[in-house]
Amino acid sequence: MLTKDDLGRLMTADATPAVSIFLPTHIAGREVRQDPIRLKDLLGEAARQLTETGLRGPEADQILAPALELVEDYTFWRHQDRGLALFLAPGIFHRYRVPIDLPELVVVAKRFHVKPLLTLLAADGLFFVLAVTAGKVRLFEASRFGMAECDDVDLPDSVAAISGETDYQNMLHASPVARPRTAAPVGIPKTHNFGEDPEEQRKAQLVEFIRRVSRGVEDYLDDTQASLVLAAEPEIEGHFRKIYKPKHLLPKGVEINPDALDMDDLHRRAYALVRPEFTKAREEAVGQFQTLCGNGDSRAETRVDEIVKAARFGRVDTLFVAADARCWGRFDETANQVALQDSATADNEDLLDYAAVQTLVQGGQVNVMDKGDLPRGDLAAAILRY
């Protein structure tokens, strides 16, 4: 699944010309056979746009070659989701299967075009799921469309690993077997780190395990405000809620052994819990924007050029952007000047796309909406931090 880190890499890539290709795909059925044909047609359009920028045919073919190889890769087409996004530039090729319907679209510009994917990372779509059992712990980054396991978070393996540490420590500190004594000598106590009673020891090891899980998750989510849904049985849930302090943990979790659920079922249950939070947050954001507008507050902005400049310098707190709209132009970051243009060219970009990505990577919230649902403005609106 596309993550915010992926988005940042795409937008900071030294990629000119940058080719972005989007197409709907099919998981099963006869339509699967049409997907490689559709990609081949889109690659033809990409080659045409590249040659219009001044590239020779062989140069364009070299950029598109990794994607062209996919056309004949029948194994690749048997493992698709609802959409496919490809990003190509000299020496660069990224591909993402995504669980959302995508338009058939080719964009050749000075930067990769990512707005068709922003609904995966929008303010009403990003959350985390923590699945904990005594034998396994997993953290997932999720959206309303699906979730993927985070593989770079420092989490303990299991309670058994904690138990192994305890046994090792006990062995190190126990009295030597080869030197029996009738009485314990002063100053060499027998060590039992988690108590003498087996049940007391089990509980202590479980609490230590949960403490380490809490520390790892808190460190990993330190710079995000996204909600966290806990999936665990009641005993583990009770310990975790006593230890974990950040406020973004939802008060209600998935109260079941998460190992008994498949990924789709776990995601469905978690999203049902977090969805009301998304709805409430969007309504509050729209209400805040309307209040600022009503008061004539300059923090409410609807001019695309001003939104772009504010996004670049981290001033956008909340952005509302039309899902299917594009606004072509150039932004001179050095001079801080925006020039709006009527259509796409090799040296311009979708400024709405640029503003949305800059808002996301600098900690702001993005709401991708139908054009008719925007609070004000034809293409975008924003709440500025200052």
Domain-wise residue ranges, the chain: 4-119, 127-276, 298-384
Percent of the chain's residues with pLDDT above 70: 90
What pLDDT, in 10s, does the model give residues 71-111? 999 889 888 888 999 999 999 999 999 888 888 999 998 88
Over residues 322-329, mean pLDDT: 87
Over residues 337-365, mean pLDDT: 87
Q: Quick check: 184 pLDDT over 50?
A: no
Total residues belonging to the chain: 386
DSSP lists the bridge partners of residue 143 as 146
pLDDT on residue 347: 80
Q: Quick check: 352 pLDDT over 80?
A: yes
Better-predicted residue by pLDDT, 171 or 345: 345
pLDDT on residue 141: 87
Hunting for tokens 């504010």 — which residue is that?
A: 310
Instruction: Fill in the amino acid letter for 8.
Output: G
Q: At what angle do helices 304-312 and 351-361 cross, to 10 degrees?
A: 30
Over residues 111-117, mean pLDDT: 87
pLDDT on residue 166: 54
Three-state secondary structure call for residue 148? strand
pLDDT on residue 6: 83
Calculate the CA dihedral of residues 366, 372, 376, 378 and round it to 10 degrees.
90
Whole-model pTM? 0.65
Cα–Cα distance, 71 to 90 (Å, whole number)? 20
Q: At what angle do helices 57-71 and 35-52 cross, to 10 degrees?
A: 170
Over residues 192-208, mean pLDDT: 78
Q: How far is CA 383 from the centre of its chain?
A: 22
Over residues 347-356, mean pLDDT: 88
Report DSSP letters for 248-277, one per residue: TB-SS-B-S-GGGS-HHHHHHHHHHHHHHH
Confidence of residue 343 (pLDDT cuts 50, 70, 90): confident
Range from 54-63, 79-88, 184-193, 267-276 carrying the lowest mean pLDDT = 184-193
Sheet holding 365-369: strands in order across?
300-301, 380-384, 316-322, 365-369
R_g of the chain, CA atoms, integer Å = 26
DSSP lists the bridge partners of residue 83 as 24, 98
> Are the CB atoms for 140 and 278 separated by under 8 Å?
no
Mean pLDDT of the chain: 86
pLDDT on residue 187: 42
Cα–Cα distance, 247 to 41 (Å, whole number)? 49
Q: Quick check: 67 pLDDT over 80?
A: yes
pLDDT on residue 15: 81
CATH 3.30.1330.30 for domain 298-384: yes
Query: What is the phi-psi region of residue 29: left when phi exceeds 0, alpha when psi lies from -120 to 50, beta otherwise?
Result: left
Q: Quick check: 123 pLDDT over 70?
A: no
Q: Domain 4-119: which topology?
A: 3.30.960
Residue ranges of the alpha helices (H) in the chain?
4-12, 35-52, 57-71, 74-77, 159-173, 198-220, 234-243, 263-294, 304-312, 351-361
- What are residue 252's phi and psi, to 5 degrees? -120, 135
Q: Quick check: 296 pLDDT over 90?
A: yes
Instruction: Fill in the amino acid letter for 255.
Output: E
Provide CB contacts within 8 A for 9, sequence distance 6+.
Answer: 94
Q: Quick check: 177 pLDDT over 80?
A: no
Over residues 206-231, mean pLDDT: 92
Q: Quick check: 267 pLDDT over 60?
A: yes
Confidence of residue 161 (pLDDT cuts 50, 70, 90): confident
pLDDT on residue 171: 47
Confidence of residue 182 (pLDDT cuts 50, 70, 90): very low
Buried b (16+ CB within 10 A) or exposed e, 166-177: beeeeeeeeeee
User: Both ends of the chain: CA-CA distance in Å?
Assistant: 33
Cα–Cα distance, 116 to 95 (Å, whole number)? 14
Range from 8-17, 240-249, 279-288 carrying the lowest mean pLDDT = 8-17
Q: Quick check: 245 pLDDT over 50?
A: yes
Cα–Cα distance, 57 to 50 (Å, whole number)? 8
CATH 2.60.40 for domain 127-276: no
